[in-house]
Amino acid sequence: MDGDFTAENVQVVAQGIATYLKRSGRGPRGVLVGYDTRRNSHNFALHVASVIAANYIPVMMVNRATPTPVTAFQVMHRKTGGAVMITASHCPPVYNGVMFIPEYAGPALPSCTNRIELLIEEAAEDVRSLGLARVRETVQTLDPSDEYMHHLKRLVELETIRRAGLKIVYDPMHGAGAGYLDTLLQECGCDVLTINPDQDPDFGGVAPDPEEPRLTKLCERVAGTGSALGLATDGDADRVAACDEKGRYLPSSRVFAILYLHLIKSGRGGNVVRTVATTHLVDAIAQRHGYEVVEVPLGFRHVAKELRRGAALGGEESGGFSTFNHISEKDGIYSAVLLAEAISASGEAVSDMLDEIHEQFGDPQPGRVDIPFHQDEMQIVQRQIAALQPKEIAGVRVKNRTTADGVKFHLEDGSWLLLRTSETRPTVTVHCESADRKMTAQLLREGEEMVVASYP
């Protein structure tokens, strides 16, 4: 476990959150405390509950390891003042974290987190706690699953999924999604094979991050069992990944496109929101059907803000999705069931669905490269990148330039190039997308050259 993540430090953070809730007037509405399958997450959650209860704020605690979106849903369902979730999501097993979920059941905005951080500094000298023995006796526990599952069943077309009777392989990656997604799919009439179902705090020795290199077993099982679809969720089940019936990994951009087109076809369409580094394939779909695209900075908190304003679907490049009629937190369980619904409604194999999407809307090829710098170089690099105004890139004229998050160049042929500095590491990331792999490779090369040249 990360050396800074101790019970004492968790209590200080909990005290800062408790003070924030009291000063914002939301304390009387109570707080839900959730936790994932990581080592000692349950114990850390008890410490959080102990501190919040000692501050005279009503506390409820989940009775087992729980996905982040399930905890977030309970905030909305029970109208609590917020929730605290002990999780490090998709990070390696040595890490853990404390997440605050505000009363709107979505990611906390900077206005909230900045205030809590200041209060945490104050809290170090005045932490109140009931103690673990007493909190175990006094804090109410609840099973959060039934209400959440009932809610999802109202959001998806159950009969459509039942009629299809899909055969699905699911990998929860030893995380909190086990017992949720597989159970829900089975109740929808799917034949589900679950791999890595045990809630292992070491996640089998790898990060519970559903990227292609970690899903080899899933892809092999799908192809070997004649299944229609493979699904995976990360450690706290807020993100989804998939593979087609041939066992080929689906980039999150293709999952996004399938979900969005299905919502439109089923009468649930509307404007779509995506992060600045996410595929423009959904832009083509939106344009064809008369909807608008809202582009926001990286971070699902920005997507969530637009979902609360009524966007039909929101997504990010790493496989996080949600809809306006659900919580504004990304939800890998809901997204997976919605993907199963889309495939069931089409009556086609996933690969055939994608072929049709590419034929109608294009097959954009993404690219990415990370360029490390020393921390003391980053200020100069960031300033130089922000000043870039090339007339053309890779031989194509720059149509326009946007600066919502980093610098993004939109080219006349529909390609784009994004240069973005990381908020957490001394790194510049080059993202791009174009109609073919050769152009994508050229964009990456020229983007990398621009970044390297920014620090003479």
Name the amino acid, one letter, at 70. V
Which of these three, 361, 389, 419, is where a domain ends? 361
- Residue 51's contacts (CB-CB under 8 Å, 6 or more residues apart) are 11, 14, 15, 18, 127, 128, 129, 130
Distance CA 77, CA 138 (A): 23
Q: Are residues 166 and 269 in the same domain?
A: yes
Q: Are residues 67 and 91 in the same domain?
A: yes
pTM more than 0.75: yes
Distance CA 238, CA 252 (A): 13
pLDDT value for 138: 85
pLDDT value for 455: 79
pLDDT value for 2: 54
- Our count of domains for the chain comes to 3
pLDDT value for 125: 81
- CB neighbours of residue 232 within 10 Å: 33
> Does the residue 90 lie in any domain?
yes
Distance CA 261, CA 354 (A): 11
- CATH number where 415 lies: 3.30.310.50
Q: Are residues 281 and 410 in the same domain?
A: no
> Does the residue 426 lie in any domain?
yes
Distance of CA 241 to the CA centre of its chain: 11
- Up-side HSE of residue 396: CA atoms within 13 Å toward CB? 19
Q: Are residues 111 and 237 in the same domain?
A: no
Distance CA 337, CA 328 (A): 17
Distance of CA 102 to the CA centre of its chain: 17
Closest CA to 85 of 183, 17, 1: 17
Q: Are residues 215 and 351 in the same domain?
A: yes
> Does the residue 271 lie in any domain?
yes
Name the amino acid, one letter, at 332. G
> Does the residue 1 lie in any domain?
no
Distance CA 408, CA 420 (A): 8
Q: Are residues 290 and 341 in the same domain?
A: yes
Instruction: Classify 28 as helix, strand or coil.
Output: helix
Q: Are residues 315 and 229 in the same domain?
A: yes
- CB neighbours of residue 345 within 10 Å: 16
- Up-side HSE of residue 381: CA atoms within 13 Å toward CB? 24
Burial status of residue 222 (CB atoms within 10 A of its CB: 0-12, 13-18, 19 or more): buried
- CB neighbours of residue 402 within 10 Å: 14
Q: Are residues 181 and 282 in the same domain?
A: yes
Instruction: Classify 68 as helix, strand or coil.
Output: helix
Q: Is the Cβ–Cβ distance between 289 and 264 less than 8 Å? A: yes
Closest CA to 198 of 164, 216, 172: 172
- Up-side HSE of residue 144: CA atoms within 13 Å toward CB? 29
Q: Are residues 231 and 372 in the same domain?
A: no
- Residue 195's contacts (CB-CB under 8 Å, 6 or more residues apart) are 169, 170, 171, 217, 218, 221
For the record, the structure tokens of 174 come out as 């030893």
> Does the residue 2 lie in any domain?
no
Tally of residues, the chain: 456
Closest CA to 386 of 416, 406, 400: 406
Which of these three, 117, 143, 169, is where a domain ends? 143
Distance in Å from the first CA to the final CA of the chain: 39
Gyration radius of the chain's alpha carbons: 22
Which of these three, 143, 164, 188, is where a domain ends? 143
Q: Are residues 183 and 71 in the same domain?
A: no
**What range defines the domain where residue 384 resides?**
365-453
> Does the residue 371 lie in any domain?
yes
- CATH number where 175 lies: 3.40.120.10
Between CA 79 and CA 36, with CA 172 as vertex, the angle to 5 degrees is 45
DSSP 118-167: HHHHHHTT------HHHHHHHSEEE--HHHHHHHHHHHS-HHHHHHHT-E
Distance CA 101, CA 84 (A): 6
Q: Are residues 393 and 338 in the same domain?
A: no
Between CA 333 and CA 338, with CA 336 as vertex, the angle to 5 degrees is 110
Instruction: Classify 12 as helix, strand or coil.
Output: helix
Owner of token pair 């072929």: 355
Element (H, E) at 224: helix 216-225
Q: Are residues 118 and 180 in the same domain?
A: no
Per-residue pLDDT tens, the chain, 456 aa: give them. 556 789 999 999 999 999 999 999 999 999 999 999 999 999 999 999 999 999 999 999 999 999 999 999 999 999 999 999 999 999 999 999 999 999 999 999 999 999 999 999 988 888 999 999 899 888 889 999 999 999 999 999 999 999 999 999 999 999 999 999 999 999 999 999 999 999 999 999 999 999 999 999 999 999 999 999 999 999 999 999 999 999 999 999 999 999 999 999 999 999 999 999 999 999 999 999 999 999 999 999 999 999 999 999 999 999 999 999 999 999 999 999 999 999 999 999 999 999 999 999 999 999 999 999 999 999 999 999 999 999 999 999 999 999 989 999 999 999 999 999 988 889 999 999 999 999 999 999 999 999 999 877
